[in-house]
Structures are given as structure tokens and as C-alpha cells.
Chains A and B, each alone.
Chain A
Amino acid sequence: DAGVIQSPRHEVTEMGQEVTLRCKPISGHDYLFWYRQTMMRGLELLIYFNNNVPIDDSGMPEDRFSAKMPNASFSTLKIQPSEPRDSAVYFCASSPGGATGELFFGEGSRLTVL
């Protein structure tokens, strides 16, 4: 299996622009998570899905952030409009679920907002 695939790996954009990050989870995994990592705040859980349904989005910073999972093999995290404080590494992770489900992380998308 190719693992969790994220794109783009790096994105540099200007403040106010729309940013879309993409994730392809491991086939057969029922759970998908979006995390954000910064030096100041560490790894933050933004949102997670179970069987394509958002379960908990309490970690989403504000209305500028939205996430979708239209099918079992694809998810997006969108920021509109972007701000410099959104600069971070965004990780997607998937899991087969169950009480002992292991998280499998992608390599991350490094976002820089100028």
C-alpha cells in the first residue's frame, strides 16, 4: 500500500488567497484525521471523519477553515481566506478504527502564507 498521500507537499501563497490541501487515505481505513503542527502549538487535531462523516470539528480554528470528505478515498482541507498565522505543516492521518486503531500519517503539507 502506498500509505497516506498528501498534496501539495509545499505551498507558498499570499494572504487572502484560497488554499486547498488534499489527502488520500489508506484504502479500507474508516477514520481520517487532519492535524496542524507549529512550533508554538505542537500537533493540533483539527477535525476527524468516520466513514466520510465529520464527527468532531471542534479543533477547526475558525470559519475560514473547512474540510470535506466526499468519498472514502479523498478529503480536502480548505482555508479561505488564508492568513500568515495559518502557516504550518498540515498532516492527514487515517486509521482502520477500533479501540486500538493505529494512526497512519502522511508526509504533510507545508503551508507558508506571506
Chain B
Amino acid sequence: LAKTTQPISMDSYEGQEVNITCSHNNIATNDYITWYQQFPSQGPRFIIQGYKTKVTNEVASLFIPADRKSSTLSLPRVSLSDTAVYYCLVGDMEYGNKLVFGAGTILRVKS
């Protein structure tokens, strides 16, 4: 079972780029890396997913080195509304029992 390690919390200011790194040393060959965002009183929401190298969508980028033992979620120019908990998930949907959330990273964006 792939275990993930993330920083407990991070602080940033509006307009800055934020990078949150997740360690997953025992990632399996078939595992994908997925990031979710959760606001208070809401369920987690999908942000981005990748397998290797770099993935970019309209809200974030995901950087995955060649050994895949870590990944970095990059949020460009954060705003106050990006204050949330961010979870890194490593697993393969075909084996749903691997979809275990870690403790997450509390991101606080200040003005």
C-alpha cells in the first residue's frame, strides 16, 4: 500500500506560486498520482493527475521525476480562495483499496 508524506501546512501570499511536494517512496508501477483539494464542509475535489514527467491543466501543474518517488503540485499565482487542504493520492483505480488519503497539506493564503 503506497504511503504518502506531505508537509502539514504551508503559508503563502496572494499572487505567489506555491509548490507542495508529496513523497511516495514505495509507489508501484501501475500507480497514478492524483491531487485533490478540499474546502471546509465540502468533499475533496479532483485537481490534477499524472503518471510521469509533467502534466498541466487550467488550475495547476504536476511535476513527477523519473523515479516517481515524489511529486510536486504547483499552483501559479494563488489567491485567497486557494486556501484549502491539498491531498496527494497514489494508487490504481483498478485496485481501489489503494485509494487511501494521507493527512494532507493545509495551505493558507494571506493577503
Name the distance in Å between B71's Cβ and chain A's nearest Cβ.
Answer: 15
Question: How many contacts A-B (CB < 8 Å)?
Answer: 63
Contact, CB under 8 Å: B43 / A91: yes
* Complex Cα spacing A56 to B102, Å: 19
Chain A interface category by residue count = 20 to 34
How many residues of chain B get a CB closer than 8 Å to chain A's CBs?
A: 23
Of the A-B pairs whose beta carbons lie under 8 Å apart in the complex, a sample of 20, sorted by A's number, is A4-B43, A31-B93, A31-B96, A45-B99, A48-B97, A48-B99, A50-B96, A55-B96, A55-B97, A56-B97, A91-B43, A95-B93, A99-B30, A99-B94, A100-B49, A101-B93, A103-B36, A107-B42, A108-B41, A108-B43
Interface of B toward A, CB cutoff 8 Å: 30, 32, 34, 36, 41-46, 49, 87, 92-94, 96-97, 99-104
